[in-house]
Chain A
């Protein structure tokens, strides 16, 4: 029996990698192509627009820093949504968990003023994660106990979170002054900027280190991505999470509690989202106010979809969306194209990822052509 099998080499590892990232890349390219078309019919020059976009995102160290800055919370929000997806759960309310993480950090950080940052920063990170997890816990219990769909409940909790933040920043924890916001965190509670690690001399000698507003939160986000990847791959927690996501019946038969796994998955998802909010406060905003997140939790959904929920892919997808958002200002300024085109491109990326069938058809056609021309 084995002779016939040995003739054909098994699939090369790189082939499977190509297959995995093929759809996201093609989707992105198609989205940019359609975006260009829209720019063109609006009477602008797409080449100029994208050149300006690129310049705004990577044109210099400060611009690159801006891209890193915007990618940081997107990585964590993408991980949050992606981890839930891997358990078959759609945590559409990452935005709310993110806000609760930011809220707790903004309040607790002020209370901890005077303590060393060695104590403050880790404590605040843990607090952010716990706040996010707690905010996901009730939808999780509702799902596990009575089957209430998480799309509805997490969404509702997201609204509740927004109003809680709006109310608290307008009254109970409002900083003195006109604007509804909290008091700024003291320096010991802030995540330092990357460039602040280097001396003036070093920055002058190595100008590319001058990364503007980018802060060390990016390292935490990358560490979280690697952590999630390890959890999914090497722990029983991750294994059970995937099993439940792929086949709840088989998982149940194998003694995996679907309900308990659901609760754990949503809470971990919430913790990651909470961390995104906490880091955004600690690294960039230093305070919380009503609209501080600006939809990062929702963009996280797009990031996870584009990355097909793969933690390492999420880093790449978040960088893409971060770059689009960082460069859009320059694009508007220099090419006159409205920043809104970025939202259209984001939507198109999601559309093409979702329409994987179309893309696959495209790939297969190319493969067939390649095969027939090789004959």
Chain B
């Protein structure tokens, strides 16, 4: 008997059938990967199971019993846990406090912290999820925060664990650890639904793969019966080019010239330490590095969001070291921020308003302070069509889009602006393979038309397939420069993790294992 069974679940949003008679089973101790294009309905389906949305039709059975899941609380009571892509932890609280939140042990309002800590320690021991129970969430790395989310679900007694794009924000090492955790959970009797866009992860971890398209299930395979190319085809409905050919680089005039740049972080620590490099027109330069090595601060300084301590930034001969974000945009710098929810979008603005963000005071969208809705709407319609943003209307608010489609909005806006320099941080985070192919083509088209591109990515495969030159950043410095031909994942990984300082085999192995075959 399956632990979880969905029968003909249908969920309709205004203008969109997000789930169209979806049936799905999850057996005990099984890992099912849910795969599908951006907007296929994966998150919606899992939110229905977790009680955050209510289905319009269909049945959900837990242990063979039909249930009407009314709330996430109810889902938890039924043994269903979910870890969202955007974590829902309370930052100033400790690990233990977060885990017990809502289910505090003790009596009459007095929390028994000792009992809580003991129980948390017991669970983390049992599943091999090592963590300091007294650490504050704000001090933890993303991978460990995710671990807290998983522990929380386990503490609440989850037997079915839903992970929505858990690997999108993880480093390769963290991905490997997560997989180990997932396997040990299954050994302990849990069942897992795993959503991801990274095909090699699906192949590595899933027992069964369910593919969705346009709200419906279009196929079910086992990893042994297919390969990544086949999966991509099943998902997108056509052949996907996993690595795009490009012409040899023709370097034009220098577009970006950074000299001796030093930048401090929010905590007033030095984050970027005397970095110098150039990017010329027609060239894609990638910055590779493990997150937290100064890339964010470098980008923020470059686009006018952070004052550098010293050094200079020049764009086509203009000094923009202290330029504001506004003049930086006006002078031709586009920026795809790594955090789309915080910096990339105004989530409660509609798509048209989001697509004009940054250009909103320029012709033809505005003249002398008056905005022209007709121009904005027609531009928005065009971008939505060009970038295949899945939405019924440009008037919908951004938060009603699927995660990947939100990302496409940011990419469409920033590339559509036709900049001199494109600064792209994690441009394909959360995108499906088809969308990644498309965005990669757009980035290469920018290069072909003589524009400069600075790519910041944690995905080595993306770096390797796009970049003409690769700069490895470690602890605020550029520690190594490669041309495209010289680089391979292993050597890159070696320098990304601190060069001679750490063991070669470790860094290399970690990084190759997540390097997606499709540059995901």
**Chain A residues in the interface with B (C-beta under 8 A):** 1, 4-5, 7-11, 234-237, 239-240, 242-243, 246-247, 249-257
Residues of B with C-beta under 8 A to A4: 17, 20, 214-216
**What CA separation (Å) do A10 and B347 show in the bound complex?**
20
**What CA separation (Å) do A254 and B345 show in the bound complex?**
9
Residues of B with C-beta under 8 A to A237: 369
B378 within 8 A of A: no
Partner of B345, one of A242, A250, A256: A250
User: In the complex, how many residue pairs between chain A and chain B have their CB atoms under 8 Å apart?
Assistant: 92
Residues of B with C-beta under 8 A to A257: 324, 326
**What CA separation (Å) do A43 and B358 show in the bound complex?**
61
Contact B325 A253 (CB under 8 A): yes
Partner of B360, one of A5, A11, A239, A252: A239
**What CA separation (Å) do A236 and B304 show in the bound complex?**
21
Contact A10 B392 (CB under 8 A): yes
Contact A234 B371 (CB under 8 A): yes
B366 within 8 A of A: yes
Known: A4-B214, A249-B343, A256-B326. A11 touches B369 (CB 8 A): no
Complex A-B: 13 CB contacts under 8 Å = A8-B15, A9-B15, A11-B14, A11-B15, A236-B360, A237-B369, A239-B353, A246-B347, A247-B345, A247-B348, A249-B343, A251-B346, A256-B326
Contact B15 A250 (CB under 8 A): no
**What CA separation (Å) do A236 and B365 show in the bound complex?**
10
Contact A254 B325 (CB under 8 A): yes
Partner of A255, one of B12, B16, B328, B392: B328
**What CA separation (Å) do A246 and B369 show in the bound complex?**
20
Contact A10 B15 (CB under 8 A): yes
Chain B 362-385 against A: per-residue CB contact (8 Å), 1 yes, 0 no?
Answer: 000010011101000000000000
Contact B369 A5 (CB under 8 A): no
Contact A255 B14 (CB under 8 A): no
Chain B 145-170 against A: per-residue CB contact (8 Å), 1 yes, 0 no?
Answer: 00000000000000000000000000
Residues of B with C-beta under 8 A to A9: 15
Give the size category of B's interface with A: 35 or more
B393 within 8 A of A: yes
B342 within 8 A of A: yes
**What CA separation (Å) do A10 and B396 show in the bound complex?**
10
Residues of B with C-beta under 8 A to A255: 304, 324-330, 358
Residues of B with C-beta under 8 A to A11: 14-15
Question: Nearest Cβ in chain B — how far from A184, in angstroms?
Answer: 40
**What CA separation (Å) do A243 and B303 show in the bound complex?**
19
**Chain B residues in the interface with A (C-beta under 8 A):** 12, 14-17, 20, 213-216, 303-305, 324-330, 335, 337, 342-349, 353, 357-358, 360-361, 366, 369-371, 373, 390, 392-393
**What CA separation (Å) do A295 and B24 show in the bound complex?**
61
Known: A5-B15, A11-B15, A235-B369. A253 touches B328 (CB 8 A): no
Contact B17 A8 (CB under 8 A): yes
Residues of A with C-beta under 8 A to B373: 234
Residues of A with C-beta under 8 A to B357: 243, 250, 254
Known: A246-B348, A253-B337. A7 touches B17 (CB 8 A): yes
Residues of A with C-beta under 8 A to B328: 255
Residues of B with C-beta under 8 A to A240: 360
Question: Nearest Cβ in chain B — how far from A72, in angstroms?
Answer: 29
Contact A243 B371 (CB under 8 A): no
**What CA separation (Å) do A11 and B395 show in the bound complex?**
11
Among residues of B, the one whose C-beta sits closest to the C-beta of A3 is: B214
Partner of A247, one of B15, B329, B346, B369: B346
Residues of B with C-beta under 8 A to A253: 303, 305, 325, 335, 337, 343-344, 358
Contact A250 B344 (CB under 8 A): yes
Residues of A with C-beta under 8 A to B12: 8
**What CA separation (Å) do A240 and B365 show in the bound complex?**
14
Question: Nearest Cβ in chain A — how far from B348, in angstroms?
Answer: 5
Residues of B with C-beta under 8 A to A251: 346
Contact A250 B17 (CB under 8 A): no
Q: Which of B324, B346, B373 has the most CB of A within 10 A?
A: B346
**What CA separation (Å) do A256 and B304 show in the bound complex?**
11
**What CA separation (Å) do A143 and B335 show in the bound complex?**
28
Contact B325 A252 (CB under 8 A): yes
Q: Which of A236, A247, A253 has the most CB of B within 10 A?
A: A253
Top 5 A-B residue pairs of the complex, sorted by shortest distance between their CB atoms = A255-B326, A11-B14, A254-B358, A10-B15, A255-B325
